[in-house]
Amino acid sequence: MTKDVFPVTYSTLECKALVTRVLPEYEIAEICTCQFWHRGLSDIYLVETQTSRYILRVSHHHWRSRSEIDFELELLDYLHQCHLPVAYPLRTTTGKLAVEINAPEGKRYAALFPYAPGNVALGDLNQNQSFLLGETLAKLHFSTRNWRSRHQREPLSLAYLLDDAEVAIAPFLRHRNEELTYIQQLISEIKRQLTNFPTQAPYWGICWGDPHSGNAHFTSDGKITLFDFDQCGYGWRAFDIGKFLQVSIRTGMPKNVREAFLTGYQSVESLSKPEINSLQAFTQTAHIWMWGISLNNAIRYDWCRLDESYFTQRLQQLKRLNSHDWQLF
């Protein structure tokens, strides 16, 4: 980088430039609007033509490598070929699933998806929607049992899920020694419970990584479309269920709706007794993992969130998940 250009950690790509320099790579109708829709682990743009809507997702340079993105996009393309209801990436006119962008901070990658039909469940899932979500997740796990990628992506191992999160969390709790010790001891206990968990099919395979009510659209006639596979990878299927439970407990989803998700899942794939018994540990793991991800992103562009209440709230949630009555919340 030349000395007269100031270093950049994160840039916001101009909508007009995306319309003229990225979207022409795709065979779609004339674009009417392109709006910067949401900033999350990627930047999301809503693209509209006269007849269709699309989501343009642009990766963050610091978050995902080209190999990791290719892994996810090829997985979604495979799921679409298997006729599973996912928001799948469109190919460019040259057959690519992603478009490389030379952003000021480094390489970023854009992928275009048809807009998932329907909407996020109003007020959260009902029992029928929860059953359908669990059923669809089980079909995803079953359909990908023999899928292999030539691209590298970090597996959802205990080291990745827990150790990296602990490294992110610990510096912020040095002055709260008792609570830091609590987290460290809980991580050790989770590892003790899960270290010898099977790492072969059907227990281990492709995971969505982020199954919850906010990552699925439902139509009025009861159809579902899954999206946001940014956190996918090889992992334990029980972790995917734990991730659903972690989000749904945090948002206050009723217990009978959560149970409908498990019933839907097991209408396709039966869980073993050890998997059922491990769900509390995997739910705690999901909470700790997402805490670490949240911290690493806040450090980059939302430091004001990291006050004492931020940490107190997450500690309280973790302690509830570690209680005997964790499923009653």
Domain spans of the chain?
15-114, 127-328
Nearest to 10 by CA among 104, 100, 101: 104
Instruction: Find out if CATH 3.30.200.20 is the number for domain 15-114.
Output: yes
pTM of the full structure: 0.95
DSSP 2-49: -TTS---S--PPPHHHHHHHTGGGS--PPEEEEEEEEESSEEEEEEEE
Judge residue 110's burial from the number of C-beta atoms within 10 Å of its C-beta, 0-12 exposed, 13-18 middle, 19 or more buried.
buried
Q: What integer is the mean pLDDT of 295-312? A: 93
329 pLDDT band, cuts 50/70/90, is low
pLDDT band at 5 (very low <50, low <70, confident <90, very high): confident
- Averaged over 124-148, what is the pLDDT? 97
Q: How do residues 170-202 score in pLDDT, each as one tens digit?
A: 999 999 999 999 999 999 999 999 999 999 999
What fold is seen in the domain 127-328? Aminoglycoside 3'-phosphotransferase; Chain: A, domain 2 (3.90.1200)
Rounded CA-CA distance 233/289 in Å is: 14
Q: Shortest CA distance to 288 belongs to which of 309, 248, 319?
A: 319
In this predicted structure, what is the pLDDT of residue 2?
58
Tokens 């900033």 correspond to 39
